Amino acid sequence: MREWCAPEHEPLLLAEGKGCVLRDQHGREYLDGNSSIWTNIHGHGHPVIHAAIKEQLDRVAHTSFLGFTHEPAIRLAKELVDFFPEGTLTRAFYSDDGSTAVECALRMALQFWRQNGCPERDTILAFDHAYHGDTLGAASTGGIPLFKGSGNDFGYRTLRVPDLDRLDALTRDEPRRLAAVILEPLIQGSAGMRLWPRGMLAALRQWCDRHDVLLILDEVMTGFGRTGMMFACEIEGVTPDLICLAKGLTGGLLPMAATLTTERVFEGFLGREKTFYYGHSYTASQLGCAAALASLRVFREERVLESLPGKTACFTSLLDGLRALPRVKEIRQCGMIAGIEIGPFDTALLTGAAVCLAARKHGLLTRPILDTLVLMPPLCVTSSELERMTRALKLALEEVCG
């Protein structure tokens, strides 16, 4: 907070938004280059989602989900499970954000084995550089020391590996202690947009099947079209045992999350002593469900997924134009997600932050991960907006590193 509170620092107050454009307190306009921290899908102020929220607001904003239910939640659960092959993910559990969606998946996996004859399966396997959220339970699976804070292996055992090869090298007994493996499929976001090798996800699914270990996919960032498919797991034809959805679930308008799971896991919680004691006050907020249903409607009505191959190709060619710039080390892209790594710099110099600050003057808002610049526009982005975003980054890179 020292820099934030310094007299020369001018806080940016974002006041309005329309499509990919945000406006500050002085009326200056910026392109939302990271979808308001990876949440926004169809742009700001989308009329269909706004109308759905207003309509819901006039009925009721929120009612308890403890012991009750409501139509928007029922319809949303049905629409979410219908994205997956029949008889795979069939059940939805609501919570509030990405961290609680992960929290819930971890606790389900651990409790599932404890009360169904395998109490020795008490460990969660996670990958180096992983990020699964900031609550203690989710942070315990994180593999980025910077983001772990005090959340260091809280309350359950974790085992961390760098990659699939290390999984195959586990001793014979180690897999028998695993309740679940958790992974960000295809791309690790907070690690700086690190791509997994092609085929890794499908191979991991096979490994989990071989050892009867539950596979949790954290699609909090990758879900809802970012990678080119509705969910990243579809790209390798994989269905997990649990999937965590949040950020883009409501189109990025309201906080809301869902953890989907299989009939097998669901049935493991039937019975008096088997209750899943987990829930939050705002679970299945009616407004959030209405927004999520409207966002899915926009996907259908505007044929959003169909528009992505063209947009992604345009994004790729614009990113290619950045490759030759001074100090651009590597560009990593997965669908409409890109990480532009610059350097080598001493990370303490915060060069990535300096580039993003310079880009602000050229009308682009985004946030780096150390020295990786992130571009992840809302999916409604036009080719001219993509062009303006990459041009702003180019000018900023030349100013700071040139």
Ligand X SMILES: *Cc1c(COP(=O)(O)O)cnc(C)c1O
* Residue 101 vs 179, nearer CB to ligand X: 101
How near is the Cβ of 149 to ligand X at its closest, in Å?
A: 13
* Residue 43 vs 98, nearer CB to ligand X: 98
* Residue 340 vs 369, nearer CB to ligand X: 369
* Residue 188 vs 390, nearer CB to ligand X: 188
Binding site for ligand X (CB under 6 A): 97-99, 102, 131-133, 184, 189-190, 218, 220-221, 246-247
Angle between helices 351-361 and 383-401 (to 10 degrees): 120
* Residue 49 vs 221, nearer CB to ligand X: 221
Other C-beta atoms lying within 10 Å of the C-beta of residue 55: 11
How near is the Cβ of 135 to ligand X at its closest, in Å?
A: 7
Q: Is the dihedral of CA 325, 330, 335, 337 positive or negative?
A: negative
3-class DSSP assignment, residue 378: coil
Angle, vertex CA 23, rays to CA 21 and CA 29, nearest 5: 65
Strands (E), 271-391: 328-334, 337-342, 364-365, 372-375
How near is the Cβ of 240 to ligand X at its closest, in Å?
A: 14
**CA 253, CA 249: separation in Å to the nearest integer?**
9
Residue nearest to ligand X (CB): 98
**Of all helices (H) and strands (E), which one includes residue 217?**
strand 214-218
* Residue 98 vs 377, nearer CB to ligand X: 98
How near is the Cβ of 339 to ligand X at its closest, in Å?
A: 13
How near is the Cβ of 55 to ligand X at its closest, in Å?
A: 26
Whether residue 53 contacts residue 287, with contact meaning beta carbons closer than 8 Å, is answered with: yes
How near is the Cβ of 221 to ligand X at its closest, in Å?
A: 3
Q: Concatenated DSSP letters for 144-184?
A: -HHHHTT-SS-SSEEEEESSHHHHHTS-TTGGGGEEEEEE-
The per-residue b/e assignment along 106-145, b for 16 or more CB within 10 angstroms, e otherwise, is: bbbbbbbbbbeeeeebebbbbbebbbbbbbbbbbbbbbbe
* Residue 244 vs 359, nearer CB to ligand X: 244
Determine if the peptide bond prior to 162 is cis (ω within 30°). no
Angle between helices 47-59 and 286-301 (to 10 degrees): 150
How near is the Cβ of 96 to ligand X at its closest, in Å?
A: 8
How near is the Cβ of 8 to ligand X at its closest, in Å?
A: 30
* Residue 248 vs 268, nearer CB to ligand X: 248
* Residue 190 vs 286, nearer CB to ligand X: 190
Size (the chain), residues: 402
**CA 287, CA 297: separation in Å to the nearest integer?**
15
How near is the Cβ of 383 to ligand X at its closest, in Å?
A: 26
